[in-house]
């Protein structure tokens, strides 16, 4: 039996118990993949990150939900790099790179009013139209078809992880949502393991531009993600791809988590580059506590 220390940080917030929680395990090179999965399952957060040595970048990150490994996770990246920076891992560097299963990603580190902000470049955006049953999709999140804004497309989007973007007419409908995650794979026939990300152009916070919720794939072992960095980035690309085709770039704040009392903010930047849209997300984090997990080795 081995005791593993897991650091709990909340991303996209400066207030503990807000934003999106992530578990972080430092110096994890000696852990097996099975160990990592067992630790993530015990921690129970949407993602736990394991920090490893990299021969290709400044650091390697692996991300595990309670149910499976993910190629990339925005909020866990922000939380992990905030943690590592606070412990002096990067010295005075203002830019670093991270190795993930989604590729080598560049990161910018900025100190503003004494607080670190991490800017993360995501993979170039991809979109594929949703061809499934809209009525069943609405049912799977506890809504009616009339609640969906069909003036803009329902589309799968990815900047590293596939999610289904579902435009919603009114903000008031977000509190009424009741996800039935087990239905998702039979509805999302193009990407059965994708998550579902409803969003709208109304917000609770006047400083925010878009609002979202993020319902997890049933394979992940969780039901909802409080504040989702990767999906927020996809929202930025979606905005240019489908809503403002006249713009070359856009920069705004996405809010998420209010329905879970875990309010968080993600700064999103999207810009056109040839036939693709480049996406950046930016945020900060806050330390909450240490967790001890016991595993058999």
Mean pLDDT of 200-220: 98
What is the rounded distance in angstroms from the CA atom of residue 74 to the CA atom of residue 12?
A: 10
**206 and 69 in a common domain:** no
Mean pLDDT of 32-60: 98
**231 and 158 in a common domain:** yes
pLDDT tens digits along 118-130:
999 999 999 999 9
On the question of pLDDT at 266 being above 90, the answer is yes
Mean pLDDT of 214-237: 96
What is the rounded distance in angstroms from the CA atom of residue 24 to the CA atom of residue 290?
A: 9
Residue 33, CA distances (Å) to 28, 47, 49, 279 in order = 10, 14, 12, 30
Q: Helix, strand or coil for residue 283?
A: strand
Q: Which domain holds residue 182?
A: 126-281
**289 and 277 in a common domain:** no
Residue 177 near residue 148, CB atoms below 8 Å: no
In this structure, the number of other CB atoms found within 10 A of the CB of residue 156 comes to 20
**69 and 165 in a common domain:** no
Which residues, including other chains, have CB under 8 Å from residue 217's CB and lie 6 or more apart? 181, 184, 185, 193, 194, 195
**130 and 272 in a common domain:** yes
Number of compact structural domains in the chain:
2
pLDDT tens digits along 67-96:
999 999 999 999 999 999 999 999 999 999
**133 and 268 in a common domain:** yes
Residue 170 near residue 200, CB atoms below 8 Å: yes
**Average pLDDT of the chain, as a whole number:** 97
**139 and 243 in a common domain:** yes
On the question of pLDDT at 55 being above 90, the answer is yes
On the question of pLDDT at 61 being above 80, the answer is yes
**Can 47 be counted among the known catalytic residues?**
yes
What is the rounded distance in angstroms from the CA atom of residue 175 to the CA atom of residue 172?
A: 6
Residue 6 near residue 24, CB atoms below 8 Å: yes
**18 and 92 in a common domain:** yes
Which listed residue (41, 47, 92, 224) is catalytic?
Answer: 47
Tokens 């693709």, residue located: 276
- DSSP code per residue over 180-215: -GGGHHHH--SSTT-EEEEEES--SSTT-SEEE-EE
**142 and 106 in a common domain:** no
**213 and 237 in a common domain:** yes
Would you mind telling me the total number of residues written for the chain in this entry? 297
**254 and 198 in a common domain:** yes
What is the rounded distance in angstroms from the CA atom of residue 21 to the CA atom of residue 18?
A: 8
| Cα dihedral: 113, 257, 94, 233 (round 10) | -130
Q: At 121, phi and psi to the nearest 5?
A: -85, 130
**249 and 115 in a common domain:** no
The pLDDT value given to residue 274: 86
- DSSP code per residue over 116-180: EEEEEEPPPPEEEE--S-HHHHHHHTT--GGGB-TTS--EEEESSSEEEEEEBS-GGGGTT----
The CATH number of the domain where 68 resides is what? 3.10.310.10
**217 DSSP assignment:** P
On the question of pLDDT at 297 being above 90, the answer is no
The pLDDT value given to residue 275: 85
């Amino acid at each position: 039996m081995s005791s593993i220390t897991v650091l709990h940080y909340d991303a996209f917030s400066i207030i503990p118990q807000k934003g999106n929680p992530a578990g972080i395990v430092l110096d994890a090179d000696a852990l097996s993949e099975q160990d990592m999965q067992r630790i993530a399952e015990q921690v129970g957060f949407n993602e736990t990150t394991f920090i490893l040595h990299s021969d290709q970048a400044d650091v390697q990150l692996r991300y595990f939900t309670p149910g499976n490994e993910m190629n990339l996770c925005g909020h866990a990246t922000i939380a992990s790099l905030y943690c590592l920076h606070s412990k002096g891992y990067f010295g005075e560097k203002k830019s670093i790179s991270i190795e993930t299963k989604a590729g080598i990603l560049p990161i910018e580190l900025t100190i503003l009013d004494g607080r670190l902000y991490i800017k993360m470049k995501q993979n170039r955006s991809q979109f594929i139209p949703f061809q499934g049953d809209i009525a069943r999709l609405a049912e799977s999140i506890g809504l009616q078809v009339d609640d969906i804004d069909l003036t803009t497309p329902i589309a799968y989007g990815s900047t590293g992880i596939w999610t289904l973007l579902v435009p919603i007419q009114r903000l008031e409908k977000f509190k009424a949502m009741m996800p039935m995650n087990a239905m998702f794979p039979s509805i999302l026939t193009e990407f059965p393991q994708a998550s579902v990300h409803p969003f709208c152009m109304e917000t609770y916070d006047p400083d925010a531009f878009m609002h979202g919720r993020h319902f997890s794939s049933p394979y992940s072992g969780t039901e909802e993600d409080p504040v989702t960095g990767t999906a927020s980035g996809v929202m930025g690309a979606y905005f240019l791809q489908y809503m403002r085709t006249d713009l070359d770039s856009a920069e705004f704040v996405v809010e998420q988590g209010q329905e879970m009392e875990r309010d968080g903010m993600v700064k999103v930047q999207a810009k056109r580059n040839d036939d693709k849209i480049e996406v950046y997300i930016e945020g900060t984090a806050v330390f909450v506590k240490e967790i001890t997990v016991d595993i058999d080795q």
